[in-house]
Homo-oligomer: A and B are copies of this chain.
Amino acid sequence: MSFVQTLKQARLRNDSLVCVGLDPEPARFPAHLRGAPDAIFAFCRDIVDATADLVCAFKPQIAHFAAQRAEGDLERLITHIHATHPGIPVILDAKRGDIGSTAQHYASEAFERYGADAVTLNPYLGRDSVQPFLDRADKGVILLCHTSNPGAADLQELPVRGTDGGELPLYQHIAMSIARDWNANGNCALVVGATWPEQLAQVRALVGDMPILVPGVGAQGGDVEAVIRNGATRGGEGLIVSSSRAILYAGAGEDFAAAARKAALALRDDINRHLHARP
């Protein structure tokens, strides 16, 4: 089953657009876990097990593992998710981007080594740089479009002139190009930050039902109501609403996983309330 199909089924089964971002920060772990040799794995596993029936996807962020020499924990974690919670897709948040044979190696890293179902990529190097990923019809290819940070506007909102002579912001040009030219296998998705709700509406208008991964609710302050209003499809789909810190560190004691569950449930219900309140 393809990533897009798995994602849809997980959403239906769990009635959820929530994606829990797995960004382990050992300094913020509960005291009883700190210093354990596999603390990173154990922390993430407990979060996963406490929230797996409330999400449509998990999204481990690879830098948080790499900075701690914890690639082994990341491998174990993804294996654990697939074995214990089958049907919940794993998005490897890596934002890779390189060319030729190096792009092939990054695809091997994401899909063979880690067994991810989808990966985030940076489109700046152009379509051929992404081709080894696009060719994997079963895997999701989630391309940065408009990121959640304030500096996103530096380049992503520059007015560019298209081949038809019309002018539009770079992120819209990219969204259109991907929807029109890069998505032959129907496995593309985009990243648009919750902190940029107007831009989310613009992207939704350009890309039909393509899934959009939306980080930036929670700790970064994105507004859930605006995300749903501007980003959901008519059918109430098309979004992967990702929250990391607000869920992972909802509690600081031995009950951190229960606190994370509560936070994930609250986000799911908040999203669903806004979905159902739409005209």
Contact = CB atoms under 8 A, between A and B. Distances in A.
Interface string A55-85: 0000001011011010100000000000000
Interface in A1-46: 23, 25
A141 to B, nearest CB: 15
A151 B132 CA distance: 13
Interface string A165-193: 00100100110010000000000000000
Interface string A133-158: 00000000000100111111111101
* Copies assembled: 2
B160 A106 contact: no
Nearest to A193: B99
A159 interface: yes
A109 interface: yes
A231 B129 CA distance: 24
A277 interface: no
A155 B123 contact: yes
Interface residues of A, number: 52
B126 A153 contact: yes
Contact of A63 (B64, B106, B160, B170): B106
Contacts of A160: 158-161, 170
A105 interface: yes
A175 B128 CA distance: 22
Interface stretch (A90-98, A200-208, A252-260, A268-276): A90-98
Contacts of A86: none
Contacts of A109: 63, 66-67
A127 interface: yes
Contact of A95 (B61, B97, B126, B177): B97
B63 A105 contact: yes
A105 B67 contact: yes
B95 A156 contact: no
Contacts of A153: 126
Q: Which are the 7 A-B pairs with shortest beta-carbon distances?
A: A126-B151, A128-B151, A126-B154, A63-B105, A99-B149, A67-B108, A67-B105
Interface of A: 23, 25, 61, 63-64, 66-67, 69, 71, 95-102, 105-106, 108-109, 112-113, 122-129, 144, 147-156, 158-161, 167, 170, 173-174, 177, 220
Given A126-B149, A126-B153, 15 more contacts: A61-B98, A66-B105, A67-B106, A71-B71, A95-B122, A100-B220, A123-B124, A123-B155, A124-B124, A128-B149, A128-B150, A128-B154, A160-B160, A161-B161, A161-B167
